[in-house]
Amino acid sequence: MLDLLLMLAVFAAAFATGYVLISRVPAMLHTPLMSMTNAISAVTILGALLLFTGHARTMEKTLGAAALAAAAFNLVGGFVITDRMLGLFRKKGSTDPGE
């Protein structure tokens, strides 16, 4: 019971903090924001890694490998693409208008 309350509290606190922080993000950055939070949700990679610890049996290793590959794809791909996207934003010009 105590466990449940603790985890609910952690969830609620993180949700509230996230809500406050993210409602201030300007619309211009919504796509990079989603792509970054998408990468963050791949934190399940920790769960996938933990499947390999202790006495991992074949089933755990097989499914763990699939989970790990999916999570690593999401995690690294998400951060890389966000970085690339944000690198495209530029303000006032180095580029000379009209050739």
Partner 1 sequence: MGQLLVDLGVSLILVLGISQFRTPRGARTGNLTAAFALACAVAIVLARHSVAALPVMLVAGAAGIATGCAMALRVRMIQIPAMVAFQHGMGGVAAFLVSFVELVGQTGRSLSSLSEVSALLGLCVGTATFSGSMVASGKLAGRIRQTPVILAGHNVVLAALSIGCVLLMLAAGLADRAAVVAAVSATLFVVAAAWGVVFSVRIGGADMPVLISFLNATAGLAAALCGVAIRNQLLIVCGATVAASGSILTHVMCRAMNRSLTNVFAGLRPADAGLEAGPATRAEAITPSRTCLENSPLPAEPLVQPETMDPFSRAIEAVRSAQSVIIVPGYGMALADAQETTVRLAERLASMGKSVLFAIHPVAGRMPGHMHVLLAEAEVDYGMIRELKDVNPQFAQTDLALIVGACDVVNPAAIESQGTPISGMPILLAHEAGTVIVCNLDDRPGYSGVENPLYRQPRTILLLGDAKETLARLFRDLV
How many residues of this chain bind partner 1 (CB under 8 A)? Answer: 87
- DSSP code at position 26: -
Q: Amino acid letter at 52? A: F
Smallest gap, in angstroms, from Cβ of residue 58 to partner 1?
Answer: 9
Stretch 13-52 residues interacting with partner 1 (CB under 8 A): 13-19, 21-52
Smallest gap, in angstroms, from Cβ of residue 52 to partner 1?
Answer: 5
Quote the crossing angle between the two packed helices 58-88 and 30-40, to the nearest 10°.
160
Smallest gap, in angstroms, from Cβ of residue 64 to partner 1?
Answer: 7
Q: Amino acid letter at 83? A: D
Q: Residues near 67 by Cβ (< 8 Å), separated by ≥ 6?
A: 44, 47, 48, 51
Stretch 55-74 residues interacting with partner 1 (CB under 8 A): 55-57, 59-61, 63-74
